[in-house]
Amino acid sequence: MNHYLLFLMVLSAAACSAAPHADSTRLPQGHLIIIGGGERTDDIMARFVDLAGGPARARIIVLPMASSTPDTTGMEQAAEFRSRGAASVEWINIGREGAGNPALLEKLDKATGVFFSGGDQVRITRALLGTPAHHKLLELYQRGAVIGGTSAGAAIMSRVMLTGEELINRDSASMFTSMQKGNVETIEGLGFLKTVIIDQHFVKRKRLNRLICVVLEHPELPGIGIDESTAIQVNPDGTAEVMGLGTVVVLDARRARGIHPDMHGNFSGSGILMRLVAPGETFRLDQPQEQGTR
Catalytic residue list contains 97: no
Residue 10 lies in a domain: no
Does pTM surpass 0.85? yes
Position 234 scores a pLDDT of: 98
Which of 166, 188, 217, 228 is catalytic? The answer is 166
- Rounded to 5°, the CA angle 147-234-276 comes to 130
Residue 134 lies in a domain: yes
Residue 15 lies in a domain: no
Of 143, 149, 180, 7, nearest to 65 by C-alpha is 149
What is the per-residue pLDDT across 54-98, written as a single tens digit (0 to 9) for each?
999 999 999 999 999 999 999 999 999 999 999 999 999 999 999
Which of 201, 228, 229, 241 is catalytic? The answer is 201
Residue 230 lies in a domain: yes
Longest dimension (CA), the chain: 60
CATH number reported for the structural domain that contains residue 140 in this entry = 3.40.50.880
Residue 6 lies in a domain: no
Catalytic residue list contains 201: yes
Query: Which residue positions in the chain have pLDDT lower than 50?
Result: 1, 3-20, 22, 291-294
* Structural domain span for residue 190: 30-286
Provide the number of structural domains found in the chain. Answer: 1
Residue 231 lies in a domain: yes
Residue 4 lies in a domain: no
Distance from C-alpha of 68 to C-alpha of 64, rounded to nearest angstrom: 9
Burial of residue 246 (CB within 10 Å: 0-12, 13-18, 19+) is buried
Catalytic residue list contains 185: no
Which of 67, 151, 158, 229 is catalytic? The answer is 151
What is the per-residue pLDDT across 146-187, written as a single tens digit (0 to 9) for each?
999 999 999 999 999 999 898 888 777 777 887 889 998 999
Position 25 scores a pLDDT of: 61
- Rounded to 5°, the CA angle 36-191-217 comes to 80
